[in-house]
Structures are given as structure tokens and as C-alpha cells.
Chains A and B, each alone.
Chain A
Amino acid sequence: DAGVIQSPRHEVTEMGQEVTLRCKPISGHDYLFWYRQTMMRGLELLIYFNNNVPIDDSGMPEDRFSAKMPNASFSTLKIQPSEPRDSAVYFCASSLARLLETQYFGPGTRLLVL
């Protein structure tokens, strides 16, 4: 298996622009998680899905952030409009329902908002 795939790996954009991050989970995994990593706050869980349904989005910082999972093999995290403080590394992770304790992370998307 190729593991969790994220694209793009790097994104540089200007403040106010829309940013879309993409994730393809490991086939057969029932859970998908979006995290944000910053130096100050470490890894923060933003939202997670179970069987394509959003379960908990309490970690989404603002209405500017939205996430979708239209099918079992694809998810997006969108920031509109983007701000410099959104600069971070965004990770997607997936897991089997029965092995929730072990999440497989993608390589991350490094976002820089100028």
C-alpha cells in the first residue's frame, strides 16, 4: 500500500487566497483525521471523519476552515480566505476502526501564507 497520500506537499499563497489541501487515506480505513502542526501548539486535531461522515469538528479554528469527504478515498481541507497565521504543516491520518489507537499519517502539506 502507498500509505496516506497528501497533496500538495508545499503550498505558498498570499493572504486572502483560497487554499485546498487534499488527502487520500489508506484503502479500507474507516477513520480520517486532519491535524495542524505548529511550533507553539504542536499537533492539533482539527476534524475527523468516520465512514465519510464528519464526527467532530470542534478543533476547526474558524469558519474559514472547512473539510469534506465525498467518498472513502478522498478528503479535502479548505481555507478561505487564508491568513498568515494559518501557516503550518497540515497532516492527514487514517486508521482502521478497530485500531483507532494507531493512526497512519501522511507526509503533510507545508503551507505558507504571505
Chain B
Amino acid sequence: DQQVKQNSPSLSVQEGRISILNCDYTNSMFDYFLWYKKYPAEGPTFLISISSIKDKNEDGRFTVFLNKSAKHLSLHIVPSQPGDSAVYFCAARSNTGNQFYFGTGTSLTVIP
């Protein structure tokens, strides 16, 4: 059973606009959340993270929002650039151990 869900397999956004990628989780024991970015034929690379004690973390054009009551997090990319076109994976860590659970990914296409 998927504990981390990304319900949108794909998203297309115009260059310069905001991209919003969503992620839902089911396990209230998760204490750390991450976003990874993956280009074709490469491994995922870490993008940004957020602890469960925070509700927002910002790094340049990338912001992650966490809504613990809704068990939902989102990644905002503003402004979106063509180089942002990739698959984005949401991940969560259980506070019971060093285990990570990943979503199925959202493929973002930024149209020039």
C-alpha cells in the first residue's frame, strides 16, 4: 500500500508561471519530507526538504509547504524554467527508523 501518493502523473506549465506539485501521505509517524528531481537516464537528486515541525521551507525558486493536519505537502516552483522539466518524487521518512517512502513521481514539463 502506497504510504506516499502523488496523484498527478504529469503536469505542464508555461515558462515563467508557477508549478505546483502535490503529495499526500497516510502515516502520521513521518517526521521528515523531501523532494527529489530526476532527469532521464539519471538517478534522482535531492532538491529540498522540510521537517514536520515546520510548515514552509524556501530555497530560491523552490518552496515546500507542509500541512500536517491534511497530511499534504506541495512543491512550488516560481518562476518555472524549461530546465525544471523532470520527474519529481516526493519522499517521507518514518521517525521509527531510517526508512524512506517515495511516491510514484510527477513528470513536469515546462513549455518555453
Interface residues of chain A, those whose CB is within 8 Å of chain B, are 4, 31, 33, 35, 39-45, 48, 50, 55-56, 91, 93, 100-108
Contacts and interface: CB of A to CB of B under 8 A. Distances in A.
A39 B87 CA distance: 12
Contact of A44 (B93, B102, B105): B102
Nearest to A39: B104
A3 B102 CA distance: 22
Contacts, number: 58
Contact of B34 (A33, A41, A55, A101): A101
A45 B105 contact: no
A101 to B, nearest CB: 6
Contact of A91 (B2, B44, B46, B99): B44
Interface of A is mostly: strand
Interface of B: 2, 6, 32, 34, 41-46, 49, 89, 91, 93, 97-105
A100 B99 CA distance: 10
Nearest 9 Cβ contacts at the A-B interface:
A105-B43, A42-B104, A43-B102, A102-B46, A105-B44, A106-B43, A42-B102, A107-B43, A100-B98
